[in-house]
């Protein structure tokens, strides 16, 4: 096939050259030159102006109320957690990027999805194109996973994009799975598979395929350490939906997170566990992040965080120990260290805790990463509890943001968090005073099964704990 003309363009300053160089002569940045089609921008704009391709000008007034498109029909994937992360199932012509470190379970998830999709959707055809594994390997894995009844699933071991396109033309699948981004190459570019130029070209062509043929395309991308292989980050902006599969080392659970979604919320979280039979859905993830301990110990507090629309109860742990260092240590895993240092400073100022002479270690149990200020209050309580060596009562959950003046501030969607804690059998929830009345009213007939305690400032916390 004829090679198209390419050029190397500096991602930093836009300088173009016909040869690859290690260093951009214009801005002197290293390793910023990336291969691109020389004519891409020119060709497409020229083509669009000369021949709009039968397109008529198409616009409506922003203010109009008429319905312009039928609501998107969605396909059930047969995996509840996956449907949730996609925003209620798979949109037929959507382009999904599934990122994650090698070995985390991306191919396993795709295979399980194949079975789910086929069993939920009659007449659906799926093409699984793999540039990584041989047909025998994939068949073997499907067999181990107990994936059955796949008469409408087609397999192709292929590394050339054009080869995949030919197969698509023949089979006409409704869903195309591409595993993985870094192993495919277009023969129109000279650069190696996995280079930025290749991964961009592949993604652009697949996006075009998804939209023009109404095929749902899934593209697996390995997250790579810095190097010559481009990761999914390089193409995130080009796709409809970006999902990342993550875990903490040594843990068997897997978190599937939407970081971008044109068809739903982008903060949704799905939780799976990897065992001998593949990925299993975890329908009650709070159980993963709470310890089974029954007796109260000092230095821990429970909070309720929100991941998308999903409430999760998490245990926060603090260890305060006197230091021999001039500058005490502030170490945090699972929550931003700067935030923990801030909370420690607030405790020093407003609760007179002499933390300046103490090292502080902080951890979120189960390896979850918290970004929400709603967990501030529980973090403060855990630190206070460790310092005082007084356990918080069991069955308590604390929700609230802590401000610099020590005030406990309202959090979003307190009702969802409270309901989750109630369902899991917690007895008492400490919430910001400003949210109290509304939350109490929202409890309705459940008011007898849980107690809400309002808190205005962090300094009231010790008094509140004596209340029990
Ligand atoms: P895989 O889906 O191949 O990962 P990726 O495509 O993201 O690179 O998952 C591979 C890992 O999952 C492998 O280390 C073995 C493990 N695994 C199980 O623990 N149980 C199973 O049933 C399967 C299929 C894999
Ligand atoms: Mg794989």
CB 351 within 8 A of CB 458: yes
CB 176 within 8 A of CB 168: yes
Q: Rounded distance, CA 421 to CA 306, Å?
A: 12
Q: pLDDT tens across 223-233, in order?
A: 977 655 678 88
| Average pLDDT of span 60-81 | 81
Residues 6+ apart with CB under 8 A from 376: 339, 343, 400, 401, 402
Nearest CA to ligand 1 atom 13: 103
CB atoms within 10 A of CB 29: 14
Average pLDDT of the chain, as a whole number: 88
CB 431 within 8 A of CB 376: no
Structure tokens at 438: 């509304």
Ligand approaching nearest to the C-alpha of 180: 2
Give the pLDDT score at 62: 84
SS3 call for 310: strand
Give the pLDDT score at 111: 95
Ligand approaching nearest to the C-alpha of 106: 1
Give the pLDDT score at 172: 96
SS3 call for 157: strand
Count CA atoms within 13 Å of residue 247 on its CB side: 18
Handedness of CA 129, 134, 138, 139 (dihedral sign): positive
The answer to whether residue 149 scores a pLDDT higher than 60 is yes
Give the pLDDT score at 13: 73
Banded model confidence at residue 46, pLDDT cuts 50, 70, 90: low
Which of 221, 274, 280 best tests ligand 1's pocket when mutated (most atoms within 8 Å of CB)? 274
Distance of CA 384 from the midpoint of ligand 2 (Å): 45
Q: pLDDT tens across 370-428, in order?
A: 989 999 999 999 999 999 999 999 899 999 999 999 999 999 999 999 999 998 889 99
SS3 call for 316: strand
Q: pLDDT tens across 269-283, in order?
A: 899 999 888 999 998
Give the pLDDT score at 221: 94
Q: What is the DSSP string of 58-85?
A: ----TT--S--SPPPP-B--S-HHHHHH
The answer to whether residue 328 scores a pLDDT higher than 60 is yes
Distance of CA 250 from the midpoint of ligand 2 (Å): 19
Q: Which of 39-43, 144-148, 244-248, 347-351 has the lowest mean pLDDT?
A: 39-43
Stated length of the chain: 468
DSSP structural state of residue 228: S
**Can you give the pTM of this predicted structure?**
0.79
DSSP structural state of residue 391: P
Banded model confidence at residue 208, pLDDT cuts 50, 70, 90: very high
73-281: CATH homologous superfamily? P-loop containing nucleotide triphosphate hydrolases (3.40.50.300)
CB atoms within 10 A of CB 32: 20
Give the pLDDT score at 52: 55
DSSP structural state of residue 374: G
Distance of CA 133 from the midpoint of ligand 2 (Å): 8
Handedness of CA 359, 466, 286, 414 (dihedral sign): negative
Give the pLDDT score at 26: 84
The answer to whether residue 323 scores a pLDDT higher than 60 is yes
List strands edge to edge, sheet with 16-17.
16-17, 6-10, 33-37
- Return the CATH class of domain 288-466: alpha beta
Q: List the Cα angle 341/345/348 in 5-degree steps.
A: 140
Closest atom, ligand 1, to C-alpha of 100:
7
Q: pLDDT tens across 233-268, in order?
A: 889 999 999 999 988 777 788 999 999 999 988 888
Banded model confidence at residue 34, pLDDT cuts 50, 70, 90: confident
Q: Rounded distance, CA 126 to CA 243, Å?
A: 20
CB atoms within 10 A of CB 367: 18
Regarding the beta carbon of 140 and ligand 1, being less than 6 Å apart is answered no
Between 126 and 40, residue with greater pLDDT: 126
Q: pLDDT tens across 168-201, in order?
A: 999 999 999 999 999 999 998 888 888 888 999 9
**Cis peptide bond upstream of 85, omega within 30:** no
Which of 97, 100, 105, 223 best tests ligand 1's pocket when mutated (most atoms within 8 Å of CB)? 105
Structure tokens at 264: 């739903």
Structure tokens at 94: 């959507």
| CATH 3.30.230.10 domain range(s) in the chain | 288-466
Regarding the beta carbon of 131 and ligand 1, being less than 6 Å apart is answered no
Nearest CA to ligand 1 atom 23: 278
Instruction: Report the Cα 399 to chain-centroid distance in Å.
Output: 23
The answer to whether residue 291 scores a pLDDT higher than 90 is no
Count CA atoms within 13 Å of residue 228 on its CB side: 5
Give the pLDDT score at 43: 52
Give the pLDDT score at 50: 61
Q: Rounded distance, CA 400 to CA 181, Å?
A: 42
Ligand approaching nearest to the C-alpha of 128: 2
Regarding the beta carbon of 277 and ligand 1, being less than 6 Å apart is answered yes
Regarding the beta carbon of 145 and ligand 1, being less than 6 Å apart is answered yes
Between 82 and 448, residue with greater pLDDT: 82
Give the pLDDT score at 14: 75
Regarding the beta carbon of 106 and ligand 1, being less than 6 Å apart is answered yes
Give the pLDDT score at 393: 92
Give the pLDDT score at 228: 57
Q: Where are the alpha helices (DSSP H) in 38-133?
A: 40-50, 80-86, 106-120
Q: Rounded distance, CA 105 to CA 433, Å?
A: 44
């Amino acid at each position: 096939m004829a090679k198209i003309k390419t050029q190397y363009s500096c991602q930093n300053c836009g300088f173009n050259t016909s040869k690859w160089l290690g260093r951009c002569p214009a801005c002197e940045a290293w390793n910023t030159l990336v291969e691109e089609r020389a004519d891409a921008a020119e060709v497409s704009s020229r083509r669009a102006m000369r021949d709009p391709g039968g397109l008529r000008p198409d616009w409506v007034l922003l203010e109009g109320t008429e319905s312009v498109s039928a609501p998107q029909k969605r396909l059930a994937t047969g995996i509840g957690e996956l449907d949730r992360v996609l925003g209620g199932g798979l949109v037929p012509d959507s382009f999904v990027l599934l990122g994650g470190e090698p070995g985390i379970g991306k191919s396993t998830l795709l295979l399980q999805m194949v079975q789910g999709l086929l069993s939920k959707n009659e007449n659906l055809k799926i093409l699984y194109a793999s540039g990584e594994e041989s047909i025998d390997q994939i068949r073997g894995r499907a067999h181990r996973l107990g994936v059955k009844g796949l008469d409408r699933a087609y397999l192709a071991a292929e590394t050339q994009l054009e080869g995949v396109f030919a197969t698509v033309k023949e089979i006409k699948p409704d869903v195309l799975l591409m595993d993985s981004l870094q192993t495919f190459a277009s023969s129109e570019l000279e650069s190696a598979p996995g280079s930025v130029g290749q991964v961009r070209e592949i993604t652009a062509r697949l996006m075009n395929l998804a939209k023009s043929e109404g095929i749902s395309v899934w593209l697996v991308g390995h997250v790579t350490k810095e190097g010559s292989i481009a990761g999914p980050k390089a193409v995130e902006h080009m796709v409809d939906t970006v999902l990342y599969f993550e875990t903490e080392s040594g843990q068997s659970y897997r978190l599937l997170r939407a970081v971008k979604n044109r068809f739903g919320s982008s903060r949704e979280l799905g939780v799976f566990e990897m065992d001998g039979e593949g990925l299993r859905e975890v329908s009650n993830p709070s159980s993963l992040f709470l310890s089974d301990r029954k007796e109260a110990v000092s230095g821990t507090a429970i909070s309720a965080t929100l991941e998308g629309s999903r409430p999760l109860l998490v245990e926060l742990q603090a260890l305060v120990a006197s230091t021999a260092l001039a500058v005490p240590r502030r170490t945090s895993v699972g929550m931003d260290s700067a935030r923990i240092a801030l909370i420690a400073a607030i405790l020093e100022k407003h609760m007179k805790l002499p933390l300046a002479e103490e090292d502080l270690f902080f951890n979120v149990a189960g390896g979850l990463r918290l970004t929400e200020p709603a967990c501030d209050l529980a973090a403060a309580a855990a630190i206070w509890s460790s310092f005082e060596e007084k356990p918080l009562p069991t069955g308590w959950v604390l929700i609230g943001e802590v401000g610099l003046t020590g005030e406990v501030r309202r959090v979003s969607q307190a009702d969802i968090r409270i309901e989750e804690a109630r369902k899991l059998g917690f007895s008492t929830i400490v919430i910001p005073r400003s949210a109290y009345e509304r939350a109490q009213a929202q409890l309705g007939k459940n008011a007898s099964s849980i107690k809400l305690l309002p808190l205005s400032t962090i300094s009231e916390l010790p008094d509140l704990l004596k209340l029990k």
